[in-house]
Amino acid sequence: MDMQELSLAVQKGKLKVVKELVNQALEEGISVQEILDTGLISAMGIVGEKFKNNEIFVPEMLVAARAMSAGIKILEPLMSDSGVKPIGKVVIGTVKGDLHDIGKNLVAMMMRGMGATVYDLGIDVPDKNFVEKAEEIGADIVCISALLTTTMPAIDDVIQEFENAGVRDKYYIMIGGAPVSQNYADKVGADAYTSNAGEAADVAKAYLISDCKKGVTA
């Protein structure tokens, strides 16, 4: 089986086809690592690049990400047995008082698409929950989202919660959302700001594969 066929199915968001092709690849003895890297992760890299270049938009990106997630779900039970390790661990959520999740969901899917294990806390997340989950699973990155100007200050509250717990320096904190800017990221002491899901995945990957995990900028 040609992995390019699987990659194209992911890019086009053909969820059922992706599931069929992943199962077919496994039956043919293709390794979990190859299916993951060549068929799924590389496809989402292409999708992310097209999104950044305005060649596709949120609906197309969302269906591609869902198709990719369906493929990964099939592979997940086999990953540990095959020695496949995630590139890192990411905690993500929308701040307290904010009920928006489309942007956050896209970032989560793109993070999974570049090989990270993602723990999605959902929406309206209390400040302390970010810290508790990051500490619980030994996260590398914490992603904080806010879509409203009125809820954006909660990003600062979350970062302060990490400071108060004495664990701020353990995590690479990324922030994003419609009202968020690089100036705001600098103001609240976030490690990175990104304006879209594709960029977020790129910045996260660069951080996770870097030798010194501080110092990667958006």
Encoded amino acid at 98, one letter: D
The rounded distance, in Å, linking the Cα atoms of 127 and 83 is: 35
Q: Under the phi-then-psi rule, with left for phi > 0, alpha for psi from -120 to 50, and beta for the rest, what region is 215?
A: left
Encoded amino acid at 29, one letter: G
Of residues 104 and 217, more confidence is placed in: 104
Q: Where in the chain is the domain with CATH 3.40.50.280?
A: 89-209
Q: Where in the chain is the domain with CATH 1.10.1240.10?
A: 3-79
- Residues whose CB is less than 8 angstroms from the CB of residue 113 and which lie 6 or more positions away in sequence, other chains included: 40, 41, 43, 44, 45, 47, 48, 65, 68, 201
- How does pLDDT run across 88-145, given as a tens digit for each residue? 999 999 999 999 998 899 899 889 888 899 999 999 999 999 999 999 999 999 999 9
pLDDT of residue 213: 53
Tell me which of 66-75, 78-87, 92-101, 172-181 is least confident. 78-87
Q: Is residue 202 within 8 Å of residue 139, measured between CB atoms?
A: no
pLDDT tier at 31, thresholds 50, 70, 90:
very high
Q: Token pair for residue 213?
A: 């995990």
DSSP 12-41: TT-HHHHHHHHHHHHHTT--HHHIIIIIII
Query: Which fold does the domain 89-209 belong to in CATH?
Result: Rossmann fold (3.40.50)
* Distances in whole angstroms, Cα of residue 180 to Cα of each of 48, 106, 130, 151, 188: 20, 16, 19, 10, 11
Q: What share of the chain is helix, strand, coil (3-state, %, to 5)?
A: 55, 10, 35
Beta bridge pairs of residue 89: 117
Q: Could you tell me the pTM of the whole model?
A: 0.81
What is the CATH number assigned to the segment(s) 3-79? 1.10.1240.10
